[in-house]
Structure 1
Amino acid sequence: MPKSQRLIQLIMMINAKKSFTVQELADELGLSTRTITRDLLELSELGVPLYSVQGRGGGYRLLQERILPPISFTESEALAMFIACQSLEFFGSLPFDEGARSALHKFYHYLPADVQEQIDLLRHKVAIWSPQRPMLPENLRVLLQALTQGAVVTIEYSSSEGTSKRNIQPFALYASAGYWYCPAYCFKRQDYRLFRADRIHSAQLNEETAGLEEVHKRTLVDIPDENSEQVTFVVYLTKNGVRLLESDPWLGQAIVRNTDGSGKAVVQVAKKHIPFNADFFLKMGTDAQVAAPEEAVAYIRQKIRDMAALYVAKDGPHP
C-alpha cells in the first residue's frame, strides 16, 4: 500500500476511535508497530491533534477537534461550497467560532489556480444577503453544544415581562431575517417556547439538571406553538406582493396565484403572534391586504391611524 494511501486510511481509523494503541493499529493494518509509530509521528507533524496517554492502559487519544479525511469536489461543487460558506459572513453572529472562516481559507488555498480565479471573480458578484442583528456568538455556541448533547441551558432572557432566569432544553436552532431562533422546552413554564437568541443575555450549560429524552428527539418539524390556539390569516397580494413572498419558506407555499399574477395567501399562526404577523404584512404597504382575522385587521387599522395622526399633527415627536 502506498504511503499516502496508508496515511489517509490511518486518519479514517483513528477518527472512528476515542482512544487506541499502536499495537491495535498495527494488528488491524497488518504492519509493524515501528511503522505505525512513525506514521503517527508524521500525522502529528501534519496537524492531526494526537496526544499520548502515559501509564498502564495508555496509548493515544484524539483531541475533540478531529481531522476529516480528504474529500474530492468537482469544479461546480467547489464554487457552490465557497459561495455558501462566504454568505455566512453576512450574519452578525454564528455558533461556529471561527470555524467557517478557517474552513473557507483552507478550502480556497487548496483549489487549483483557475478555480481560484473564478471564485475571485464571483467573490463580490454573488452573495446571499442577511440583515446583521446584534447578538452574542458565545450564547449561540452554548445553544449549539446543548443541541448535540441533549443538555439543559440556564439563560437570562428578556421578554415583555422583563428579564428572568430560566432553564431550557433546546431542540433546534435556526436563522430567519438575520435573527437566530431557538425552539426549546422551558422548565419554568413546563411547555415549549420559541426564544430569540438576541434576547438571551447569558447562557451556560446546566450540569445539575438532566435533559429530557423526548425533547432531544424533537426537530425543526416540531413547531413550539403546535398546542397554542391557532387563527387563520387571509392576505390578498398584488403581483408585486406575490413576487416578494414567493421565495419565503413559510408563506411561499401558501400562495394561490391568479391569472393576472396577483394572489392570496392563507396560513395558520398562533393567536398570540397576531401583532407580529400583522406588522410583517403592514411593512409591505399596498402590496398586501390582510382580510382576516378581524383582530389583525383592527390592529393594522389602529396602527395606520396612529401613523396618520403622527404626520398630520403640527408638532410631531421630533426634538
Structure 2
Amino acid sequence: MLKSQRLIQLIMRLNAKKSFTVRELADEFGLSTRTITRDLQELSELGVPIYSVQGRGGGYRLLRERLLPPISFTEGEAIAMFFACQTLEYFSSLPFGDGAESALHKFYHYLPADVREQIDRLKNRIMFWSPYRSMSADVLQTLLQAIMIRSVVTIEYKSSSGVSERHIQPIGLYASSGYWYCPAYCFLRENIRQFRADRILSAALNATIPCREDVSRQTLLNKPKKDHLEQTALRLELTNKGVWLLESNPRFAPFLQRNEDGSGAVVNVKIAAEDLEFYVDLIWQLGENAKILGPAEAIACMKQKVDCMRMLYP
C-alpha cells in the first residue's frame, strides 16, 4: 500500500475511534509500532488534532474537531458546493460558526485556475438574497449543538408578554425570510412551540433535564397536529392580484378556486381557532385584494385592526 493511501485510511480509522493505542493500530494495519508512531507524528504535523493521554490505560485521542479525509469532487460538484455555501452569505448569523466561510474559501482556493475564473464571472450574477435580520450566532450554535447531541436548552425568551425562562428540547432549525426558527418542545407549556431565534436572549445546554424520547423522534417534517383543538373554517374572496399573491402560499394554495375573470376564492381552510389571529394578520397584508367572508370572529378581528389603523390616521 502506498504511504499516502495508508495515511488516508489511518485518518478514517482514527475518526471512527474515540481513543486508541499505537499497538492497536499496528496490529490492525499489520505494521510495526515504530511505523505507526511516525505516521501519527506526520498526521499531527499535517493538522490532524491528535493528543496523547498520560497514565495507566493511556494512548491517544482526537480532539473534538476532527479532520476528515480528502474527498474528490468533479468540477461541476465543486461549483455546486461553492454556490451552496454562498447561499448563506446574506444571513447575518449562522449556526455553523466560521465553518461555512472556511469551507467556501477552501473550495475556491483549491479549484483549478480556469474553474476559479468561471466562478469569478458568476459572482454578483447569481445571488441567493435573504433579508438581513440581526440575531445571536452563539444562540444558533447552542441550538444546533443541542439537536446534534440531544440536549435540553434553557433559554431566556422575549415575547409580547415579556421575558421568561423556558426549558426547551429543540426539534430542528429552519430559515425563512431571513429569520431562523426553532420548533421545540416547551417543558413549561408541555407542548411543541415555535421559537424565533432573534427573540432568544440567551441559551445554554441543560443536562439536568432528560430529553423526551418521543420528541427526539420528531423532525421538521412532523408538523404539530391541532385536530384535537376547536376548529373553524376560513373563507376568502380574492381579486385577480389576490389570487396571484396566494397561489404560491402553501397555507392557502390547496384551497384556492379560480374564476374565469381571474378572480377567485379560498374556501374552507380548516384551522385551529387559536390560530385565527395569525391568519388574519396574513390576510391583512393583502390589503384590498382579499375579503374575509367567514367566520364572524375573523371579520371582527379584521374590523378591529382597521379601526386601530384609522385612529392612527384620523
1:87 aligns with 2:87: yes
How far does the alpha carbon of each residue in 1:150-186 deviate from its partner, in whole angstroms, 9 at most, with x for none? Answer: 2111111122322111211112221222222111122
Is the 8 Å Cα contact of residues 231 and 271 (structure 1) preserved in structure 2? Answer: yes
Distance 1:41 1:105 in 2: 27
1:27/1:254 Cα in 2 relative to 1: closer, same or farther (>3 Å)?
farther
- Give the corresponding residue for 1:284: 286
1:147 aligns with 2:147: yes
1:194 aligns with 2:198: no
- Give the corresponding residue for 1:12: 12
Q: Which moved more, 1:231-240 or 1:108-117?
A: 231-240
Distance 1:57 1:2 in 2: 32
Q: Which moved more, 1:259-268 or 1:120-129?
A: 259-268
Is the 8 Å Cα contact of residues 154 and 203 (structure 1) preserved in structure 2? Answer: yes
- Give the corresponding residue for 2:301: 299
Distance 2:12 2:249 in 1: 40
Secondary structure at 2:302 match in 1 = helix
Distance 2:18 2:53 in 1: 12
- Give the corresponding residue for 2:214: 214
Distance 1:277 1:220 in 2: 21
1:159 aligns with 2:159: yes
Is the 8 Å Cα contact of residues 19 and 60 (structure 1) preserved in structure 2? Answer: yes
Question: Which of residues 269, 272, 275 is equivalent to 1:273?
Answer: 275
- Give the corresponding residue for 1:28: 28
How far does the alpha carbon of each residue in 1:289-313 deviate from its partner, in whole angstroms, 9 at most, with x for none? Answer: 44444433332333234434534x2
What is the one-letter code of the residue matched to 2:277?
P
1:70/1:133 Cα in 2 relative to 1: closer, same or farther (>3 Å)?
same
1:14 positional shift: 0.7
How far does the alpha carbon of each residue in 1:83-135 deviate from its partner, in whole angstroms, 9 at most, with x for none? Answer: 22112121122111111111111121111112211222222111222122222
1:236 positional shift: 5.0
Secondary structure at 1:89 match in 2 = coil
TM-score by length of 2: 0.88
Distance 2:149 2:241 in 1: 45
Distance 2:194 2:237 in 1: 28
Is the 8 Å Cα contact of residues 150 and 171 (structure 1) preserved in structure 2? Answer: no
Distance 2:85 2:253 in 1: 25
- Give the corresponding residue for 2:136: 136
1:252 positional shift: 5.3
Percent of aligned pairs sharing the same letter: 61
Secondary structure at 1:42 match in 2 = helix
TM-score by length of 1: 0.87
Which structure 2 residues correspond to residues 220-231 of structure 1 after superposition, within 5 A? 220-224=220-224, 226=226, 228-231=229-232
1:131/1:31 Cα in 2 relative to 1: closer, same or farther (>3 Å)?
same
* CA RMSD, Structure 1 to Structure 2 (Å): 2.5
1:79/1:252 Cα in 2 relative to 1: closer, same or farther (>3 Å)?
farther
Secondary structure at 2:9 match in 1 = helix
Distance 1:258 1:30 in 2: 76
How far does the alpha carbon of each residue in 1:214-271 deviate from its partner, in whole angstroms, 9 at most, with x for none? Answer: 2211111232453544444444555555554555565556656667766655644443
1:20 positional shift: 1.1
What is the one-letter code of the residue matched to 1:59?
G
Unaligned runs of 5+ in 2: none
1:51 positional shift: 0.8
Distance 2:40 2:76 in 1: 35
Secondary structure at 1:90 match in 2 = coil
